[in-house]
């Protein structure tokens, strides 16, 4: 099972299928796979729908949705032009991409629930978490959940701490990574 928590237009799925994250044929399932693709930006809805139709029964999508610690409705900031009000990036936000940011309304999806509802203990589960700073809130929650043990490999990108995550220290983030590793999660490069 490949879970991409910031799937964009499905680029990660293509990389996964091409073996960029390891040869699919070497997976314990012998090359059988499924994918769950999450992305908050409505611009990516049509490409995600195309990926889902290209691989019927193998790809499930959650467009206009953001991975988080709970389920609710929220605003997310995505790269692009400012919205109609002229609102761009949140004050103080330093993104990795140049240019304006825009605010979009999204559903949030609990990462633990994604794991519980889409995997079983015998699955080999690979998660790509490149969620633009939200990992500061998601990882501590995930690390304390039994759902974490469902993950075999976590490709993690750590970004600058976003506004609103002031109460999460770099130590807490590092402790979360250590806890996930103790639960058997392979986290290369971090």
Q: Domain limits at 37? A: 2-73+108-182
Q: Decide if 127 contacts 3 (C-beta within 8 A).
A: yes
Domain count, the chain: 1
90 in a structural domain = no
The pLDDT value given to residue 100: 64
92 in a structural domain = no
Q: Which of 49, 25, 26 is nearest to 37 (CA)?
A: 49
Instruction: Say which residue the tokens 């988080």 belong to.
Output: 68
7 in a structural domain = yes
Q: Decide if 55 contacts 16 (C-beta within 8 A).
A: no
149 in a structural domain = yes
At residue 83 the predicted structure's pLDDT band, cuts being 50, 70 and 90, is very low
Alpha helices by DSSP H, the chain: 11-17, 45-54, 111-118, 135-143, 170-182
190 in a structural domain = no
Q: What is the DSSP letter of 120?
A: -
Q: Is the pLDDT of residue 85 over 70?
A: no
CATH at residue 53: 3.40.50
The pLDDT value given to residue 92: 43
19 in a structural domain = yes
The pLDDT value given to residue 80: 65
Q: Is the pLDDT of residue 27 over 80?
A: no
Q: Which of 70, 138, 78, 146 is nearest to 110 (CA)?
A: 70
103 in a structural domain = no
């Amino acid at each position: 099972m490949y879970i991409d928590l910031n799937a964009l237009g499905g680029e990660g799925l293509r990389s996964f299928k091409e073996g960029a994250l390891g040869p699919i044929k070497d997976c314990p399932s012998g090359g059988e796979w499924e994918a769950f693709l999450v992305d908050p930006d409505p611009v990516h809805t049509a490409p995600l729908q195309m990926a889902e139709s290209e691989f019927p029964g193998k790809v499930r999508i959650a467009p206009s949705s953001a991975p988080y610690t709970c389920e609710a409705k929220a605003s997310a900031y995505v790269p692009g032009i400012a919205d109609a009000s002229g609102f761009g990036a949140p004050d103080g936000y330093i993104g990795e991409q140049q240019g304006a940011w825009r605010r979009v309304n999204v559903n949030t999806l609990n990462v633990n629930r994604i794991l519980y509802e889409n995997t079983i203990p015998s699955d080999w589960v690979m998660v790509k978490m490149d969620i633009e700073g939200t990992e500061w809130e998601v990882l501590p929650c995930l690390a304390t959940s039994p759902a974490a043990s469902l993950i075999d490999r976590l490709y993690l990108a750590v970004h600058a701490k976003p506004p609103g995550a002031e109460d999460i220290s770099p130590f807490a983030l590092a402790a979360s990574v250590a806890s996930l590793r103790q639960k058997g999660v392979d986290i290369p490069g971090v």
